[in-house]
Amino acid sequence: MRNKRMFMLMIGFILFIAVIGFSLSDRKELTWPEKFLKDSAAYVQQWFYKPAGYIAGFFEDIGNLRRIYEENEQLRITAAAYSRDKIEYNFVKKENERYKEELSFTKRQKQMYNYNYLIAQVVSVSNDANNRTMNINLGSKNGIKPNMAVTTVDGLIGLISAVTPLSATVTPITELNEASPTFNSIAVTIMGREDESFGILSSYNKETNRLLMTKIAENDKMDISDTVITSGLGNVYPRGLVIGTVESMQKGDFGLTNTASVKLAASFDHLTEVFVVQVPELEDAGQ
Amino acid sequence: MSMNRIIVLMLLLFVIEGAVMPWIIPAGFGNRIIPHFIFVAVVFSALYSGRHLALLLGVSFGLLQDIVYFGHLIGAHAFIMGLIAYYTGVLLERRRATVMMAISIIGFACILYDSALFFIYKVFRITNESYAWALIDHILPSLFLQLAFALACYVPARRIFESQTKANSEQDEE
């Protein structure tokens, strides 16, 4: 009896290692049982997540009633600034289009930064401390693909890691890790000095809740409380998504480059709508 | 209580755990207090129903969790949940646990479960944090949530799983 139990345990352990090895391998797509399970779970969970959010939001709103006046004031100022900037933006945009025409940009180059924002609902959040993924209710049928960036109004929160026909999984940026085999690094720059600054977000330190930005040139004029945005270099992630603010700068490991710690702009609690940034198709990249 | 009813209730618990609990946990604690209600239910089934049912429920719901929230690897929850549930069942096979005993066993099982998960992720180098930090950051805070949940649903859970065993043994006698 005892031998049988040991035997079963060994078989279970081997099976477990095999399944982990299979899931860790560089898979392009999920298998169909996974897709089916994920889709049906997302379908059911969306009935629960949204009403729960409404109820929680109602109580939060009552608490926030007093702050509304201040917020309104601020919003009015922002709206005024926006309408001023919008006029300038339109002029610059027109001019830019004309230049592109004159310099005979290819169609691909013109379309490159024409991002499309898809609004998605979060339907569930993982209950695993080491793997805080979220599921959203848009899938490959809506044009979602792996590695698309996901943002809220505050800033970047993560990347799409797995896609099924009706839902997709978002891996939060807090899982960013150099040593991890499943997540890529993100190239970033500083808002206002996009062509001068450069850095790479390589890992997230959970103990201090800060992102680590590495490979900053020594003569970089990056300063504390600058806003960090994605640079779009490499054309995998879109450019211009806010990530956070620089909080402190240090010398790097070998003294040749600097590192900085970045405080995230977005919060991961009580998320409702998120935006998936759809980068235009670059199939004709060879032209 | 039939097996189907138990599975439906646990599926409901799974949905609530992923979709409703993030709203109930106050903002700012989302990464620190993490519900493991399915695991608590599986340990209840080990305490009051039997090790084989617990193993079955643990492996299947662990796998469901692994697949639905797939981020890095599949199988960790399934293996750990099944293993802990089975050995809880083996340890307490001939005894009927009282409230205090059940709650303390669930507490220990939760710590063991979270620690085992942490070390699996550590072995595959998905986390770099130290165990002491993880213990303070999320394992101990979420333990209180699990204990509160276990205490709150002790009576219905015990009734459901005990009646399941009774129904089973009656069927065997027939």
Judge whether A208 and A248 are in contact, CB under 8 Å.
Answer: no
List the single residue in B77, B129, B142 with the smallest CB-CB distance to A207: B129
Residue of A nearest to B30 (CA): A269
pLDDT of residue B82: 92
What's the mean pLDDT in B132-137?
90
DSSP 3-state of A81: helix
- How large is the angle between the packed helices B37-48 and B3-19, nearest 10 degrees? 150
pLDDT of residue A82: 92
pLDDT tops 70 at residue B173:
no
CA angle B153/B120/A184 to nearest 5° reads: 110
Q: Report how far Cα A104 is from the mean position of its chain's Cα atoms.
A: 33
Q: Pick the closest to residue A125 from A193, A69, A195, A49 (CA basis).
A: A49
CATH superfamily of A64-174+269-278: Rod shape-determining protein MreC, domain 1 (2.40.10.340)
Q: Please indicate whether, in this complex, the C-beta atoms of B118 and A12 are within 8 angstroms of each other.
A: no
Q: Please indicate whether, in this complex, the C-beta atoms of A20 and B124 are within 8 angstroms of each other.
A: yes
Q: What number of other Cβ atoms are within 10 A of residue A16's Cβ?
A: 19
Report the share of chain B in percent with pLDDT over 90: 47
**What b/e string do you get for A121-149 counting C-beta neighbours within 10 Å, with b at 16 or more?**
bbbbbbbbbbbbbbbbbbbbebebeeebb
DSSP 3-state of A237: coil
CA distance linking residue A212 with residue A205, whole number of Å: 7
DSSP 3-state of B152: helix
Q: Please indicate whether, in this complex, the C-beta atoms of B129 and A124 are within 8 angstroms of each other.
A: no
Residue of A nearest to B35 (CA): A127
Q: Please indicate whether, in this complex, the C-beta atoms of B82 and A128 are within 8 angstroms of each other.
A: no
- How large is the angle between the packed helices B140-152 and B37-48, nearest 10 degrees? 50
List, by residue range, all CATH 2.40.10.350 domains of chain A. Answer: 186-264
List the single residue in A37, A132, A171 with the smallest CB-CB distance to B67: A37
Judge whether B55 and B27 are in contact, CB under 8 Å.
Answer: no
Q: Which residues of B touch A208 (CB under 8 A)?
A: none
Kindly report each contact of residues B99-105 with a partner whose C-beta sits within 8 Å and lies 24 or more positions away, as own/partner: B99/B154, B102/B44, B102/B47, B102/B150, B102/B154, B102/B158, B103/B147, B103/B150, B103/B151, B103/B154, B105/B43, B105/B47
For B32-71, how does the pLDDT look when each residue is reduced to its tens digit (9 = 90+)?
889 999 999 999 999 988 888 999 999 999 999 999 998 8
Q: Which residues of B touch A270 (CB under 8 A)?
A: 22-23, 27, 30
Q: Please indicate whether, in this complex, the C-beta atoms of B24 and A56 are within 8 angstroms of each other.
A: yes
DSSP assignments along B3-31, one per residue: HHHHHHHHHHHHHHHHHTHHHHSPTT-TT
What is the average pLDDT score of chain A?
A: 84
Amino acid occupying residue A164: T
User: What sign does the dihedral A35-A37-A38-A42 (CA atoms) show?
Assistant: positive
CA distance linking residue A19 with residue A34, whole number of Å: 13
Choosing among 3.90.1660.10, 3.40.50.10800, 2.40.10.350, 1.20.1250.20, the CATH entry for A186-264 is 2.40.10.350
Q: Please indicate whether, in this complex, the C-beta atoms of B19 and A52 are within 8 angstroms of each other.
A: yes
pLDDT of residue B124: 83
Residue of A nearest to B124 (CA): A180
For A160-214, how does the pLDDT look when each residue is reduced to its tens digit (9 = 90+)?
888 999 999 998 888 887 766 556 778 888 888 888 888 888 888 888 888 888 8
**How many residue pairs from chains A and B have C-beta atoms closer than 8 A?**
167
Q: Which residues of A touch B27 (CB under 8 A)?
A: 267, 269-270
CA distance linking residue B111 with residue B42, whole number of Å: 15
Q: Pick the closest to residue B41 from B164, B163, B168, B153 (CA basis).
A: B153
Distance from CA of B34 to the nearest CA of A (A): 6
Q: What number of other Cβ atoms are within 10 A of residue A77's Cβ?
A: 10
What's the mean pLDDT in A90-116?
81
Q: Pick the closest to residue B32 from B129, B165, B144, B131 (CA basis).
A: B144
Write out the H or E segment, with its range, that includes residue A243.
strand A242-251
pLDDT tops 80 at residue A118:
yes
Judge whether B124 and B73 are in contact, CB under 8 Å.
Answer: yes
List, by residue range, all CATH 2.40.10.340 domains of chain A. Answer: 64-174+269-278
What is the average pLDDT score of chain B?
A: 88
A227-230/A258-264 β-pairing: unpaired
CA distance linking residue B89 with residue A202, whole number of Å: 44
User: Whole-model pTM?
Assistant: 0.85
Q: A87 or B124: whose pLDDT is higher?
A: A87
Judge whether B75 and B50 are in contact, CB under 8 Å.
Answer: no
Choosing among 1.10.1760, 1.20.950, 1.10.10, 1.10.287, the CATH entry for B3-13+35-162 is 1.10.1760
pLDDT tops 50 at residue A285:
no
* Domain boundaries of chain B, sorted by first residue: 3-13+35-162
pLDDT of residue A61: 77
